[in-house]
């Protein structure tokens, strides 16, 4: 119970006491002419009640200042320990992100007000989010957004959460632009756009491009369109509902100068061993291809003559240990000048190939 609730309950009890006692007092006053003795007794009773009220008020004020409130720092420490004990990944980051969302401030701004008391409404909001996190729901879904390539993206269970590893795909394309290996005003196809992270980030960095972004999920496309609007690149993007595995590509506007994708590459047999945040909460069709993890790369290679213009670039994110196999698939399709880019952990993460 917070100190404010305790004060409120005490005052409410005193108020009921006053109202109950006031009835005989007022009745006596109505007949004070009949008994001077009763009038004196009534006055004494009123004075005693006023004394009790003043005393209780004094005690309440001192009690409220004596009961410690949670502060930003104390709550971060306690919730970090709590998450750690419950086996929640990145316990401190989880606590910081959830509390900053409850307070309506940026995460780093909290430490500028580390001794700020937490109000009851903020505390209740934080507790609700903690309960969701204990079920291994990703922080990004709980707060409804995440950052990718310095931009803010809305996310929901309809889309895969953008990850830092995918930023290397953006870096690879920007490096090729710096090397003047990409043509001016390129037409780009983003297959499986999800939240729109790749398409939107590219449009922000290369304002002369036009991106066609596709996804098999209409719910995902709705999220992506909202993110394009949020980041001011709606005019550079076109969103289409399309299944690259089964649909014809005639309506996409091919061929494209660049085809980019972060496809579902987790093998079906590996799904059970994924973190519960991924396995139980992120959309399964955006996580695994339901096969060996290579199904989409084979499909891309099959469609190269239709999707990719001569001299065009295919750039994809890959999973752990897939680089050699993916390069072989692309080589069999006649793609050339392939390169592999590693992520910050030294894992092969991006394959680029030219037609």
* pLDDT the model gives residue 48: 59
Which residues have a Cβ under 8 Å from the Cβ of 48 and sit 6 or more positions away?
none
Does one domain contain both 121 and 216? no
Residue 144 lies in a domain: no
Tokens (6 digits) for 216: 């098999």
| Domain finish residue from 43, 66, 89 | 66
Q: Clarify whether residues 7 and 30 are in a common domain.
A: yes
Buried b (16+ CB within 10 A) or exposed e, 266-303: bbeebeeeeeebbbebbbeebbbbeeebbbbbbbbbeb
Statement: the pTM of the whole predicted model exceeds 0.95: no
Q: Kindly state the tokens that stand for 89.
A: 């990944």
Judge if 342 and 274 occupy the same domain. Answer: yes
Residues 220 and 339 in one domain: yes
Q: In the prediction, which pLDDT does 67 show?
A: 45
User: Residue 108: what pLDDT?
Assistant: 83
Specify whether 273 is located in the same domain as 289: yes
Residue 152 lies in a domain: no
Quick one: 189 and 44 in the same domain? no
Residue that terminates a domain, selected from 66, 96, 116: 66
**Domains held by the chain: number:** 3
| pLDDT tens for each residue of 87-101 | 999 999 999 999 999
- Assess if residue 331 is contained within a domain: yes
Q: Are residues 337 and 204 in the same domain?
A: yes
In the prediction, which pLDDT does 281 show?
A: 97
Report the distance separating Cα 105 and Cα 43, nearest Å: 55
Residue-range definition of the domain harbouring residue 100: 72-135
* Structural domain includes residue 181: yes
Whole-angstrom CA distances from 157 to 27, 95, 296 are 66, 21, 22
Domain assignment present for 186: yes
Identify whether residues 86 and 226 lie together within a single domain: no
Instruction: Give the tens place of pLDDT for each residue, 235-290.
Output: 999 999 999 999 999 999 999 999 999 999 999 999 999 999 999 999 999 999 99
Residue that finishes a domain, picked among 45, 66, 87: 66
The per-residue pLDDT for 21 is 42
Residue 190 and residue 88 in one domain: no
Please, which residues have CB within 8 angstroms of residue 58's CB and are 6 or more apart in sequence? none
**pLDDT for the residue numbered 49:** 54
Contacts (Cβ under 8 Å, ≥6 apart) of 341: 168, 171, 172, 348, 349, 350, 351, 352
Query: How far are the Cα atoms of 70, 78, 243, 258 from residue 85, in angstroms, in the given order?
Result: 20, 11, 43, 47
Please tell me whether residue 191 adopts helix, strand or coil conformation. Answer: strand
CATH number for the domain spanning 327: value is 3.40.50.150
201 shares a domain with 103: no
Answer whether 296's CB lies under 8 Å from 270's CB.
no
The pLDDT of residue 51 is: 56
Query: Looking at residue 304, what is its pLDDT?
Result: 95
- Residue 146 belongs to some domain of the structure: no
Residue spans of the chain under pLDDT 70: 1-68
Structural domain contains residue 124 = yes
Same domain, 225 and 286: yes
Does residue 207 sit in the same domain as residue 297?
yes
Residue pair 100/106 in contact by the 8 Å Cβ criterion: yes
Look up residue 32 and give its two tokens: 């004070």
Give the SS3 label for residue 247: coil
Residue 184 within a domain: yes
């Amino acid at each position: 119970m917070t100190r404010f609730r305790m004060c409120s309950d005490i005052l409410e009890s005193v108020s009921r006491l006053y109202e109950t006692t006031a009835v005989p007092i007022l009745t006596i006053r109505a007949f004070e002419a009949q008994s001077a003795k009763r009038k004196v007794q009534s006055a004494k009773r009123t004075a005693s009640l006023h004394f009790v009220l003043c005393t209780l008020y004094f005690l309440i004020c001192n009690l409220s200042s004596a009961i410690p409130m949670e502060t930003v720092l104390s709550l971060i420490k306690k919730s970090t320990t709590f998450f750690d004990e419950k086996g929640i990944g990145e316990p401190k980051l989880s606590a910081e992100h959830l509390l900053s969302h409850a307070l309506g401030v940026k995460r780093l701004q909290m430490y500028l007000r580390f001794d700020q008391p937490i109000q009851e409404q903020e505390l209740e909001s934080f507790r609700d989010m903690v309960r969701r996190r204990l079920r291994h729901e990703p922080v990004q879904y709980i707060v409804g957004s995440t950052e990718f390539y310095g931009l803010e993206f809305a996310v929901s269970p309809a889309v895969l959460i953008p990850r830092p590893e995918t930023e290397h795909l953006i870096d690879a394309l920007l490096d090729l632009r710096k090397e003047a290996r990409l043509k001016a005003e390129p037409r780009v196809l983003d297959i499986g756009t999800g939240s729109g992270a790749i398409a939107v980030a590219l449009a922000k960095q290369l304002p002369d491009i036009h991106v066609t972004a596709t996804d098999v999920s209409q719910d995902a496309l709705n999220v992506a369109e909202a993110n394009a609007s949020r980041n001011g690149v709606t005019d550079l993007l076109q969103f289409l509902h399309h299944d690259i595995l089964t649909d014809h590509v005639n309506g996409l506007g091919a061929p494209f100068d660049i085809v980019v994708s972060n496809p579902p590459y987790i093998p079906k047999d590996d799904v059970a061993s994924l973190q519960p945040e991924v396995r139980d909460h992120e959309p399964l069709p955006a996580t695994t291809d339901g096969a060996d993890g290579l199904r989409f790369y084979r499909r891309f290679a099959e469609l190269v003559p239709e999707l990719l213009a001569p001299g065009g670039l295919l750039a994809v994110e890959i999973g752990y240990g897939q680089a050699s196999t993916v390069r072989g698939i692309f080589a069999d399709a006649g793609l050339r000048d392939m390169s592999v880019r590693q992520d910050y952990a030294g894992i092969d993460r991006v394959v680029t190939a030219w037609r």
